[in-house]
Amino acid sequence: MKELLAQARQGNKKAEEEIFRFLYERFALIAKYRLGREEARDISQDACMTILEKFRAEKIPENFEAWAHGVLRMKIGNFLQKREVRHKVMVDEMFIGGAAEQPDIPPNPEFKRKLLDCLRKIIQVYPRYARAMNLVHQGYKTKEICDRMGINAGNLYVILNRGRSMLGRCLIKGGIE
Amino acid sequence: MNIDKCKEPEIGAMLHAYELGALSEEDTERFEVHLLKCRYCFASVKQFETTAGLLRHDGSVKEEVASVGSETTELSLLRRSLKFLWPERPLVFKPALALLVILALIYPAYLGLSEKGSNCIRPVGSITLLPLRTMMTDTYSLSSGKDLVLSFVFDNAEPNTKYRLTIKDAGGNVIYGDDAFADFDNFQTGRIFVPNSVLRAGRYHLTMEVPKADMLIKGPEYYFEVKP
């Protein structure tokens, strides 16, 4: 990345495009996780444009990724602020609030059925993952989940990642060993 | 750049917690900055995007997960005890497991001891007798179930000399006799072993006869009493 940045600063258009593509892909994913809707694309594009403008004019910070993430965060913050204002004047704010939590492309029903099937199997064989998921769905964050399960954060991450791997394998193979 | 491995495994470990939206704001930021650097984690999140979206937002998934039951439910005493003995912690921190390991280690030793106890080692009671001019006695309790080790001090005991030793009950019946007793130690203390089974409650008289010029002359005498 540092090399690309240096090349882009020297006016290399290809390097600039490469940086834009690299950031856009990641920003879109992050914004989608944060917002869960179509606006993620616009926000990512906007953040990328800001970064490209700034890095031409200013000195590149040592930790480029953290700085770039800061720009994206600011864009997301602005968007949420505007939406908040919009919500206040809209009668059906409940509807929009709910819609913001939905994924933008409805999933394939067959995939959803398969996922539920796998989830049921994993709940049977791996109750600790099921328990952690249950607490996540109750709205608890990692620290509270750890307190409730009597484990440390490292162990919680292991449980979650192990459950994720089982789920991934189940979705591919259709069953768990 | 390496795509087969996470660049910062400590942060990469938060992967699924991030996908589920369970990280704190601070950790979310850390992980997102990491996503900008680590191709491996980015590819993983991207690949699992649809699944994670469903896990996070889908109503049916939420219902399925909610059916697991929440911690807020009051647990029965049995369940609480089980939870205490087998908490949701790594295997090494489970008290029940530690208990089982301890029992597994102790039980063979216990078996060995109990077997030896029944066949070889039996508890004994010991009394030490001194030659007395009076009829004072030392006592031994029969109900203890222990076999008796009688120790008696004989100041003039000589090495390699065989003494006649007799124990009689109050009725004059010989319950123990040895014509060639020579089992004295360096402190001139002799010891004999009398099984619990041959003893009855009562007074006993131990006599020693000393060989001298083809004759046996009266040696020290001892008294002891066996209580029921």
Q: Could you say which of B37, B51, B65 has the minimum Cβ distance to residue A137?
A: B65
Contact B109, A170 (CB under 8 A): no
Cite the residue boundaries of each domain of chain B with CATH code 2.60.40.1930.
Answer: 124-227
The answer, yes or no, to whether residue B118 has pLDDT greater than 60, is no
The answer, yes or no, to whether residue A93 has pLDDT greater than 60, is no
Q: Are residues A163 and A114 in the same domain?
A: yes
In a domain, A154, yes or no: yes
Q: Which of A65, A98, A131 is the last residue of a domain?
A: A98
Q: Please, which residues 109-168 of chain A have a Cβ atom closer than 8 Å to chain B?
A: 111-112, 115-116, 119-120, 123, 127-128, 130-131, 133-138, 140-143, 145, 148-151, 154-158, 160-161, 163-164, 167-168
The answer, yes or no, to whether residue A5 has pLDDT greater than 80, is no
Mean pLDDT of the B83-108 span:
81
In a domain, A103, yes or no: no
Here the CATH number for the domain that contains residue A80 is 1.10.1740.10
Tokens of A59: 């000195």
In a domain, A54, yes or no: yes
Q: Are residues A92 and A159 in the same domain?
A: no
Q: Are residues A88 and A149 in the same domain?
A: no
- Measured between CB atoms, does A9 come within 8 Å of chain B? no
Which of A146-155, B53-62, B119-128, B134-143 is modeled with the greatest confidence?
A: A146-155
Mean pLDDT of the A80-103 span:
54
Q: Are residues A142 and A86 in the same domain?
A: no
Q: Are residues A36 and A92 in the same domain?
A: yes
Specify the CATH number of the domain B124-227.
2.60.40.1930
How far apart are alpha carbons B17 and B23 in whole angstroms? 6
With a CB cutoff of 8 Å and minimum separation 6, the contacts of B31 are: B11, B14, B15, B18, B23, B41
Q: Are residues A120 and A167 in the same domain?
A: yes
User: Chains A, B: CB contacts under 8 A, how many?
Assistant: 134
Contact B209, B217 (CB under 8 A): yes
DSSP H helices in chain A: 2-9, 13-35, 39-57, 64-89, 93-99, 109-125, 127-137, 142-149, 153-173
- By mean pLDDT, which of A36-45, A114-123, B123-132, B200-209 is the weakest? B123-132
In a domain, A153, yes or no: yes
Q: Which of A39, A69, A98 is the last residue of a domain?
A: A98
Q: Are residues A13 and A67 in the same domain?
A: yes
Mean pLDDT of the B149-171 span:
85
Mean pLDDT of the B119-127 span:
68
Q: Are residues A70 and A115 in the same domain?
A: no
CB contact under 8 A, A112 and B14: no
Domain count, chain A: 2
CA distance B12 to chain A (A): 9
pLDDT of residue A98: 40
Domain that holds residue A137: 109-173
In this prediction the ipTM stands at 0.80
In a domain, A80, yes or no: yes
Q: Are residues A30 and A93 in the same domain?
A: yes
In degrees, rounded to 5, the angle at the alpha carbon of residue B51 between the alpha carbons of residues B50 and B56 is: 100
Contact B153, B208 (CB under 8 A): no
- By mean pLDDT, which of A15-29, A125-139, B41-55, B64-78 is the weakest? B64-78
Q: Are residues A84 and A8 in the same domain?
A: yes
Mean pLDDT of the B10-22 span:
88
Which of B5-9, B74-78, B143-147 is modeled with the greatest confidence?
A: B5-9
Tokens of A78: 């602005």
In a domain, A61, yes or no: yes
Here the CATH number for the domain that contains residue A153 is 1.10.10
Q: Dump pLDDT digits (tens) for B32-64.
A: 889 888 888 888 888 888 888 888 888 877 777
Q: Could you say which of B14, B51, B60 has the minimum Cβ distance to residue A157?
A: B14
Residues of chain A contacting B60 with CB distance shorter than 8 Å: 112, 116
Residues of chain A contacting B29 with CB distance shorter than 8 Å: 69, 73
Beta strands B215-227 and B124-129, pairing class: unpaired
Q: Are residues A84 and A139 in the same domain?
A: no
Q: Are residues A131 and A75 in the same domain?
A: no
